[in-house]
Amino acid sequence: MRKLNLRPSTISSKVVMALAGVFLMLFLVVHLFLNLLMLMGDEGETFSNAVVFMTENPAVKIFEYVLFAGFIIHIIIGLLIEIKNYFARPVKYAVSNTSKTSFFSKYMIHTGLIILIFLIIHFTHFFFVKLNLVDIPGDITTDNHDFYAMAKYLFKNGIYTLIYIISFVFLGFHLNHAFQSAFQTLGLNHPRYTPFIKALSSIYAIVVSMGYSIIPIYFYFFY
């Protein structure tokens, strides 16, 4: 009789990580739609109404906790997989062999850590302000839910704008591999659909990173 293995395997951790990653990828789309409302040319009125709706909705409050947990789970498992792989790696040869892994897949932990640094900065300027944990950035006088005024203020700073855009380029690199990798981890791949999934993965990564980057560009150059 086969023994039951109760130790969480790398495979099951990877499935949990992929599920958290897929959840984060869906969230990125919703967040992008919300942010793009800032470009309506109505001084952020539509955007602010949407923020009020989100803030007052109890389901969104629950969602925020789930989202936070999603990030923590994804990051912790990502780091653990990376540490495990590091120690399992054989001694490096002077000349590396030609690997079949894609360029972006080799740098998932690096792009992930850049996203993590960005998230800390981002939370400090927006989410923690909303929670009253930190002050409103700069010398603007507004309430702690007025994200439009905060974005307008922050994106007038060239360095901040550049850091924001570069972070989204790296997020794009992460997503370019992440999207197709999640299909594989969750067993949703088939050789016939691989080129389609790869193309979709790149389209998703480009749309997300460019979509988010349009907002700082708009505030910095055109506002």
Instruction: List contacts with ligand HEM (CB under 6 A).
Output: 14, 17-18, 21-22, 24-25, 28, 74-75, 78, 81-82, 108-109, 112-113, 115-116, 174, 178, 181-182, 185
In the complex, the smallest distance separating the C-beta of residue 40 from ligand HEM, rounded to whole angstroms, is 25
In the complex, the smallest distance separating the C-beta of residue 86 from ligand HEM, rounded to whole angstroms, is 11
- Cβ proximity to ligand HEM: between 181 and 213 the closer is 181
- Cβ proximity to ligand HEM: between 9 and 141 the closer is 9
- Cβ proximity to ligand HEM: between 74 and 130 the closer is 74
125's CB contacts (< 8 A; 6+ apart) are: 137, 150, 154
In the complex, the smallest distance separating the C-beta of residue 138 from ligand HEM, rounded to whole angstroms, is 26
Site of tokens 């972006």: 104
In the complex, the smallest distance separating the C-beta of residue 15 from ligand HEM, rounded to whole angstroms, is 8
- Cβ proximity to ligand HEM: between 48 and 111 the closer is 111
- Cβ proximity to ligand HEM: between 153 and 179 the closer is 179
Angle at 107 between CA 216 and CA 36, to 5 degrees: 20
Distances (CA, A) of 93 to 56, 85, 96, 108: 58, 17, 6, 22
**What tokens appear for 196 in the block?**
């389609």
**What tokens appear for 59 in the block?**
């389901």
Q: Nearest to residue 76, comparing CAs of 141, 4, 8, 150? A: 8
Q: Which residues of 123-142 are buried (b: 16+ CB within 10 A; e: fewer)?
A: bebbeebbeeeeebbeeeee
Distances (CA, A) of 206 to 78, 118, 178, 202: 23, 18, 13, 6
In the complex, the smallest distance separating the C-beta of residue 37 from ligand HEM, rounded to whole angstroms, is 20
- Cβ proximity to ligand HEM: between 153 and 183 the closer is 183
Burial class (CB in 10 A: 0-12, 13-18, 19+), 65: exposed
In the complex, the smallest distance separating the C-beta of residue 222 from ligand HEM, rounded to whole angstroms, is 27
